[in-house]
């Protein structure tokens, strides 16, 4: 067992020093999301701006990381440049296992380095190294250089930012081991504000598997459940991009800046089409037998004598919707090429695609012109989008710098708020209806994974706001328990509360195992308290007119139902925070 107290490495970039502290609270916050919220309440500064050097950048893992499959995520928490409030973002790769094998439950970075730097941590070492020569470099060059500088291939996780993070864009993500991300809400800008280009976590320690005698059998049961169910085919075969055709069929796919919810031209960017033409291989986060990561390729001719270079690019439903259907780009290789451009710059692909969809419609309507966008944007124009992504990531002019802080910020200045597809942040790839729109707009992470509103819309025929809000609150409670264990949410059908309890008991966390309902309520409250204390007012959230103008497979959006859901969810959030 790793311990009833949390072991946390605190690093102060101001003086380049760190120390390990222990913290009580395992039985009340578990780890992951709960631990991140606890650490922010302890070390965060609600009244100071997101880029104040004293603000913490927090990474946490859970009690089952390393013991059971798919406990593979790391939770990253910070005060977000997007809204200057508490935020959480989740990433996988090797990050969670590397922290576990480095003997840490959390890494907390405060302060600001005098010059561009990176941090390397392991079970017995901490190094803060100046890397001024990496500032301005793209993610690929940065990753390659850091891999060469620090030993530990296979055990090591590398987190890094690109120019977007250095430029302080609220759409800048943190890349994890090339194919995973802490993508949303601007964690990359928080690293940039600290002059922190990369974090190398070397899992170079050992990890005693001293569970009870039930542990090996339980591990085998869990492993079998995870690999024998349809989850494997759902996530491993076509993967999440299977949603493109499914949502298009039921008129719930955001297309052309959500001007449409279905269109036959998306046949070139379905999951099936990607698998048929562009899929190279699958990959997996450490400790995951599912391997949902789909990696395709882009090929570019660099000399006329048929000389090509190629790069590997990961894809999922969300990046395909953002750089494909939202921009009316209908070719899978073109979508990968635009994703690749955004990745290199360290932009969150979803946010950037949705922002450019707004900019394209704004240009069509004459609200902005090439004076702002530099290159002319029109739906489906691949080369224009690659150039625009470059301008956005580099913060080329005032327009792109503002757009990089969020579509609504640009719309406030230039006009066009009505058709900004923003639900708390740039929308996720589901136009399923009222419950999803409200759940993403008001939810803590503004993520489609905060709660299952998108699935409620598709299954539920009635329009009872109280019933829907009750579902969102209960579903969020279940999900925060999973994210506090740092389970991948794709495993939510397998890791029931009863199974989680058995898993915890088998490795010695009996008190925690016996109080999961209380603990998950406590975590839910702690997270909302952090968000509200940093200025969130759920009742002030607005949902742009575009979301009311669409028709889904269920029919037109019902404004009265949406307004009632919004009002009741805002009230429920206030209750959860008290």
Provide the binding-site residues for ligand SF4, judged by CB under 6 A: 70, 72, 92, 235, 284-285, 288, 290-293, 488, 490
Please, are residues 534 and 48 in contact by the beta-carbon 8 Å criterion?
A: no
The residue among 92 and 188 lying less far from ligand SF4, judged by its C-beta, is: 92
Please, are residues 73 and 91 in contact by the beta-carbon 8 Å criterion?
A: yes
Name the minimum Å distance from CB 286 to ligand SF4.
8
Name the minimum Å distance from CB 69 to ligand SF4.
8
Residues in CB range of 28: below 8 A, 6 or more apart: 34, 519, 522
Q: Which two tokens stand for residue 414?
A: 């230039």
The residue among 200 and 293 lying less far from ligand SF4, judged by its C-beta, is: 293
The residue among 97 and 547 lying less far from ligand SF4, judged by its C-beta, is: 97
Name the minimum Å distance from CB 453 to ligand SF4.
21
List, as one string, the DSSP characters of 180-202.
EEE-GGGHHHHHHHTTEEEEEEE
Bridge partners (DSSP) listed for residue 22: 7
Could you count the other beta carbons within 10 Å of the beta carbon of residue 144?
A: 12
Please, are residues 348 and 322 in contact by the beta-carbon 8 Å criterion?
A: no
List, as one string, the DSSP characters of 435-453.
HHHHHHHHSSS-STTSS-H
Name the minimum Å distance from CB 445 to ligand SF4.
16
The residue among 92 and 111 lying less far from ligand SF4, judged by its C-beta, is: 92
The residue among 285 and 431 lying less far from ligand SF4, judged by its C-beta, is: 285
Bridge partners (DSSP) listed for residue 78: 87
Q: Which two tokens stand for residue 259?
A: 């001007």
The residue among 159 and 290 lying less far from ligand SF4, judged by its C-beta, is: 290
Name the minimum Å distance from CB 193 to ligand SF4.
28
Please, are residues 413 and 401 in contact by the beta-carbon 8 Å criterion?
A: no
The residue among 99 and 337 lying less far from ligand SF4, judged by its C-beta, is: 99
The residue among 168 and 319 lying less far from ligand SF4, judged by its C-beta, is: 319
Classify each residue of 211-235 as buried b or exposed e, where b means 16 or more C-beta atoms within 10 Å of its C-beta: beeebeebbeebeebbeeeebeebb
Q: How many helices (H) and strands (E) does the chain have?
A: 25, 19
Please, are residues 93 and 285 in contact by the beta-carbon 8 Å criterion?
A: yes
Residues in CB range of 571: below 8 A, 6 or more apart: none
Name the minimum Å distance from CB 287 to ligand SF4.
7
């Amino acid at each position: 067992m790793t311990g009833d107290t949390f072991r946390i490495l605190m690093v102060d970039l101001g003086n380049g020093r760190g120390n390990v502290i222990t913290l009580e609270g395992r039985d009340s916050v578990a780890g992951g999301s709960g631990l991140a919220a606890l650490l922010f309440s302890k070390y965060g500064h609600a009244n100071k701006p997101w880029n104040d050097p004293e603000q913490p950048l927090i990474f946490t893992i859970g009690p089952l990381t390393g013991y059971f499959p798919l406990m593979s995520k790391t939770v990253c928490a910070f005060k977000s440049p997007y809204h200057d409030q508490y935020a959480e973002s989740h990433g996988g790769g090797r990050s969670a296992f590397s922290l576990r094998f480095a003997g840490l439950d959390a890494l907390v970075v405060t302060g600001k380095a005098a010059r561009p730097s990176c941090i390397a941590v392991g079970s017995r070492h901490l190094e803060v190294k100046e890397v001024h020569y990496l500032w301005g470099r793209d993610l690929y060059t940065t990753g390659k250089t850091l891999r060469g500088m620090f030993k530990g291939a296979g055990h090591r996780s590398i987190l890094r930012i690109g120019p977007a993070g250095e430029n302080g864009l609220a759409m800048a993500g943190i890349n994890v081991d090339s194919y995973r991300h802490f993508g949303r809400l601007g964690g990359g800008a928080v690293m940039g504000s600290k002059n922190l280009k990369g974090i190398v976590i070397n899992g170079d320690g050992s990890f005693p598997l001293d569970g009870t005698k039930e542990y090996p059998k339980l591990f085998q049961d869990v492993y079998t459940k995870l690999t024998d169910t349809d989850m494997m085919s759902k996530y491993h075969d076509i993967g999440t991009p299977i949603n493109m055709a499914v949502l298009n069929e039921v008129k719930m796919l955001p297309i052309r800046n959500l001007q449409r919810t279905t269109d036959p031209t998306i046949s070139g960017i379905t999951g099936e089409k990607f698998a048929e033409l562009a899929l190279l291989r699958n990959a997996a986060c450490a400790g995951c037998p599912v391997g949902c990561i789909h990696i395709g390729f882009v090929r570019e001719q660099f000399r006329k004598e048929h000389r090509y270079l190629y790069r590997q690019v990961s894809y999922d439903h969300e990046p395909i919707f953002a750089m494909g259907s939202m921009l009316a780009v209908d070719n899978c290789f073109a979508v990968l090429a635009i994703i690749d451009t955004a990745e290199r710059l360290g932009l969150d692909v979803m946010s950037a695609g949705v922002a450019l969809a707004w900019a394209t419609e704004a240009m069509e309507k004459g609200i902005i012109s090439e004076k702002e966008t530099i290159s002319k944007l029109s739906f489906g124009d691949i080369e224009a989008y690659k150039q625009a992504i470059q301008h956005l990531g580099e913060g080329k002019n005032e327009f792109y710098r503002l757009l990089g802080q969020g579509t609504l910020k640009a719309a406030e200045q230039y006009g066009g708020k009505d058709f900004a597809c923003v639900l708390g942040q740039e929308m996720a790839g589901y136009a399923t209806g009222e419950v999803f729109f409200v759940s993403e707009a008001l939810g803590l992470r503004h993520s489609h994974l905060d709660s299952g509103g998108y699935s409620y819309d598709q299954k539920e025929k009635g329009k009872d706001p109280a019933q829907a809000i009750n579902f969102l609150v209960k579903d969020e409670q279940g999900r925060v328990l999973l994210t506090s264990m740092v389970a991948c949410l794709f495993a939510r059908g397998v890791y029931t509360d009863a199974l989680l309890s058995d898993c915890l008991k088998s490795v010695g966390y009996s008190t925690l195992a016996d109080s999961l309902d209380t603990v998950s309520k406590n975590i839910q409250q702690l997270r909302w308290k952090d968000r509200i204390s940093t200025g969130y007012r759920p009742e002030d959230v607005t949902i742009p007119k575009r979301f009311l103008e669409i028709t889904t497979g269920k029919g037109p959006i019902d404004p009265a139902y949406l307004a009632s859901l919004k009002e009741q969810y805002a009230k429920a959030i206030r209750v959860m925070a008290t």
